[in-house]
Amino acid sequence: MKFAVMGAGGVGAYFGGLLAQKGHEVTLIARGEHLKALQENGLTVHSVHGDFQLPLKAVADPQEVGLVDVVLFTTKGFDIKKTTEQILPILKEDSMVLNLQNGVGNEEIMAEVVGKERVLGGLTYIETTIEAPGIIAQKSAKRDIIFGEMDGQITERAKQLLSVFQEAGIPTVLSGNIQKDIWKKFMFISSFSAITTITELPAGDVWACEKTDQLFCKLLKEVKHVARANGIELSDEDVEVAYQIGHNFAPTTKSSMLVDFERRKPIEVDSLSGAVVKYGKKANVETPYHEMVYGVLTLKASKF
Ligand SMILES: NC(=O)C1=CN([C@@H]2O[C@H](COP(=O)(O)OP(=O)(O)OC[C@H]3O[C@@H](n4cnc5c(N)ncnc54)[C@H](OP(=O)(O)O)[C@@H]3O)[C@@H](O)[C@H]2O)C=CC1
Ligand SMILES: CC(C)(CO)C(=O)C(=O)O
């Protein structure tokens, strides 16, 4: 299959690299020093699942890619509409655009640009980052993709993509209710990013303190109420599963938002705690915990 990775950083270059290793034609769309290093030295991956190095086509301008079967969409959740417009020249009538960003509502924005029939929803549980230009550090045992058609249909094209991912060694689930799965990840990641970034500490430290451990639960429950008020039936069991997912990551695990915060880079707080607040307001649900996090982190990030 012919793939393009829009925003080939921690997530995109890692999965793109695994697909290329299996013989798929993969082009990474990147920029800056990272792009320069990819072009000069190829992609280097340091991973707990095995290191690898391979030459890969990397470009700044999607126009240089040609038409593709699948776009993996892995930029940060800033200005999604504008970024989606950039991939228009590489889409065929039947191309798929698979979103793997954190956050809710992204697929709807993408659909407005490329047409809803092309967009698949998705999410990933993985800890991975650009360690240095051209070099990805993939740190977690977990590296799962969950994806599906936005209307829940199990289609032939989705089954084909599932096989491609699985053959590339990526633990992947094809979901019949991706909207709910995206909200489950959103509940987990908005709360995990909030508690780790506000404390500036990795998972193990947060769980070791009873007060911050409980705050994580309160953040999760707040998102559950917001989800339900917006028609997504998350349950107490989903909260418990999200709590366990957090606790099953290694104690050293940092959210990608904390990593960006430490690097003094823009953080995705608008699309995480900010989105909890936004969807809460929409449905008349109070969100004091996420509202506090949103305010504090917005202020701190404005000082970078
Ligand atoms: N990292 C992780 O462990 C996980 C991340 N996620 C989510 O996945 C998404 C991607 O995260 P992550 O991989 O960490 O992000 P990264 O910042 O590592 O990767 C995105 C890359 O895309 C580049 N980029 C952005 N816009 C463009 C553009 N228009 N043209 C070319 N290159 C572009 C960025 O460059 P620049 O830096 O210059 O902006 C960056 O190098 C986020 O939504 C994140 O929340 C989900 C699960 C785990
Ligand atoms: C917590 C983690 C690493 C798990 O997937 C994540 O999604 C993120 O930080 O963006």
Mean pLDDT (10-residue bins), the chain, 304 residues: 98 98 98 98 98 98 96 97 98 98 98 98 98 98 98 98 98 98 98 98 98 98 98 98 98 98 98 98 98 98 96
What domains are there in the chain, each with its CATH number?
2-176 (3.40.50.720), 180-302 (1.10.1040.10)
Which of 279, 149, 150, 173 minimizes the C-alpha distance to 226? 279
Condensed to tens digits (0 to 9), the pLDDT of residues 84-101 reads: 999 999 999 999 999 999
**From residue 279, how far is each of 15, 232, 249, 297, 303 by CA, in Å?**
31, 12, 28, 18, 26
Ligand nearest to the CA of 268: 1
Angle at the Cα of 133 (from 129 to 137), degrees rounded to 5? Answer: 30
Gap from CA of 259 to ligand 2 centroid (Å):
10
Gap from CA of 9 to ligand 1 centroid (Å):
5
**From residue 194, how far is each of 93, 147, 176 by CA, in Å?**
39, 24, 29
Q: Which residues pair with 129 in a beta bridge?
A: 137
pLDDT score of 31: 98
3-state helix, strand, coil in the chain (%, to 5): 50, 20, 30
Whether the CB-CB separation of 273 and 293 falls below 8 Å is answered with: yes
Gap from CA of 269 to ligand 2 centroid (Å):
13
User: Which ranges of the chain would DSSP assign to H, the alpha helix?
Assistant: 10-21, 32-41, 80-86, 106-114, 156-167, 178-199, 203-208, 210-229, 236-248, 256-262, 273-282, 288-302
Amino acid identity, position 293: V
Q: Which residues pair with 122 in a beta bridge?
A: 147
Ligand nearest to the CA of 255: 2
Which of 119, 125, 114 minimizes the C-alpha distance to 85? 114
pLDDT score of 93: 97
Tally Cβ neighbours within 10 Å of residue 5: 31
The answer, yes or no, to whether any atom of ligand 1 lies below 6 A from the CB of 128, is yes
Look-up of token digits 């991973």: 47
Condensed to tens digits (0 to 9), the pLDDT of residues 16-63 reads: 999 999 999 999 999 999 999 999 999 999 999 999 999 999 999 999
pLDDT score of 97: 98
Query: What is the bridge-based pairing of β-strands 135-149 and 119-132?
Result: antiparallel
pLDDT score of 94: 98
Distance of CA 256 to the CA centre of its chain: 9
Gap from CA of 154 to ligand 2 centroid (Å):
26
Q: Phi/psi at 195 (nearest 5 deg)?
A: -70, -35
Q: What is the pTM of this model?
A: 0.98
What's the per-residue H, E or C state across 188-226? HHHHHHHHHHHHCCCHHHHHHCHHHHHHHHHHHHHHHHH
Identify the residue whose C-alpha is closest to ligand 1 atom 17: 9
Whether the CB-CB separation of 99 and 122 falls below 8 Å is answered with: yes
The answer, yes or no, to whether any atom of ligand 1 lies below 6 A from the CB of 58, is no
Q: Is 55 exposed, middle or buried (0-12, 13-18, 19+ CB in 10 A)?
A: exposed
Gap from CA of 66 to ligand 2 centroid (Å):
31
Q: Phi/psi at 283 (nearest 5 deg)?
A: -110, 15
The answer, yes or no, to whether any atom of ligand 1 lies below 6 A from the CB of 268, is yes
**From residue 47, how far is each of 10, 131, 197, 244, 246 by CA, in Å?**
11, 11, 24, 23, 20
User: Is the ipTM, as predicted for this complex, more than 0.90?
Assistant: yes
Whether the CB-CB separation of 260 and 268 falls below 8 Å is answered with: yes
For the chain, the average pLDDT equals 98
What is the radius of gyration, based on Cα positions, of the chain? 18
